[in-house]
Amino acid sequence: MVRASLEVFDPPTGRETVSGSPREKIQLQFNPAELQLTKSAEWTRLNEKWASRAAVPEFMGSRPGVLSMTVLLDGEDQRKSVDARVRALLDCCVPTKKSLEGSQPSPPWVRFRWGDFESVGFLAYVRNLGVTFTRFSSQGSPERAVCEIALEEIGEETKGQNPTSGSPSSRRAHTVIAGDSLQSIAHQELGGAAAWRAIAELNGLDDPWRLRPGTQVLLPGRDIK
């Protein structure tokens, strides 16, 4: 039988999206009975009164995948106590000593492995760990624990973009407040009132002087001419 495991890696230095050196492999005593994987995409849709059915939405980005599972720890395996197994999982939620010494605190990165199951084998961090101890020895040592683990996908650095700064051609959205006009939005967001025409064209606005508070308007990149 192939056993599931949690591979633990040193976090990278800087803002790389490649894991550091392997730290350890936490072998699960029992394979999970079920895995829950969620993944979503974020879209925005602006109101468009000229659309016959609905305005066309714009894709804004992918949300990270989240893998959730329930893991059982049992003290019948004398090679490692339940408490020691729990501590190994807890260590995945605190900065490593090496990252603290390098002034870039970060917990380890992890990867869930189970045979050739690729859909859940992404690099991740432990987003949440909940432990319920359900059995104890007469000396007070835990003999069984149920762990609820949630792993969130690390993702990849946007190609051609410094992750610490926004791309000048990236699109954003502005939420309209009372008193806003396209000219004032262009001046505030793009550095010049003359850019209001680009905003109007991007959003298909036939009356650029009438904006309803609470709605959103997409903004073109700052590199517009």
d(CA 37, CA 43): 20
Sequence spans of domains, the chain: 5-153, 172-219
**Phi, psi at 93, each rounded to 5°:** -110, 0
Contact 167, 161 (CB under 8 A): yes
Inform me whether the pLDDT recorded for 190 exceeds 90: no
Domain made up of 5-153: CATH architecture: Beta Barrel (2.40)
Question: Which pLDDT does position 169 carry in this prediction?
Answer: 41
**Phi, psi at 107, each rounded to 5°:** -70, 170
Q: Residues 45, 47, 51, 54: is their CA dihedral positive or negative?
A: positive
Strand partners, 59: 43
The region of weakest confidence among 17-31, 132-146, 166-180, 202-216 is 166-180
Give the Å distances, CA to CA, from 103 to 13, 84, 95, 108, 110.
10, 28, 11, 15, 21
Question: Which pLDDT does position 108 carry in this prediction?
Answer: 96
Give the Å distances, CA to CA, from 47 to 36, 65, 220.
35, 29, 17
Give the model confidence (pLDDT) of 148-183 as tens digits. Answer: 999 999 986 555 444 444 443 445 788 888 888 888
Q: Give mean pLDDT, residues 118-143.
A: 95
Q: Residues 59, 64, 65, 67: is their CA dihedral positive or negative?
A: negative
Q: Which residues contact 164 (CB under 8 A, 6 or more apart)?
A: 15
Residue 194 tokens read as 């003359």
Task: Please state which CATH number belongs to domain 172-219.
Answer: 3.10.350.10
Tokens 């197994």 correspond to: 85
